[in-house]
């Protein structure tokens, strides 16, 4: 379950980077798509693994 929370946090952080206008995050905005894609892939992968194991 920790993996689900961590991948959801990565996804939310990627969306946050994409939508923020804060100058402190301006240099990191180009990594937003990386975090979004990584969060989606890990979240779906973890859900599939938990479903196959019967824990979900």
Angle at 18 between CA 14 and CA 23, to 5 degrees: 110
The per-residue pLDDT for 5 is 93
Contact 14, 46 (CB under 8 A): no
The reported pLDDT for the residue numbered 33 is 93
Per-residue confidence (pLDDT) for residue 29, from 0 to 100: 83
Cβ–Cβ under 8 Å, residues 15 and 51: no
Q: What confidence score (pLDDT) does residue 30 get? A: 86
DSSP 8-state symbol, 43: H
pTM (predicted TM-score): 0.84
**What are the mean pLDDT values of the chain's consecutive 10-residue runs (56 residues total)?**
91 93 84 94 94 88
The predicted structure's pLDDT at residue 16: 93
């Amino acid at each position: 379950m920790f993996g689900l929370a961590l991948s959801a946090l990565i996804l939310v952080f990627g969306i946050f980077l994409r939508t923020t206008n804060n100058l402190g995050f301006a240099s990191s905005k180009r990594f937003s798509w990386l975090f979004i894609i990584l969060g989606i892939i890990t979240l779906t992968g973890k859900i599939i693994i938990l479903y196959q194991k019967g824990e979900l």
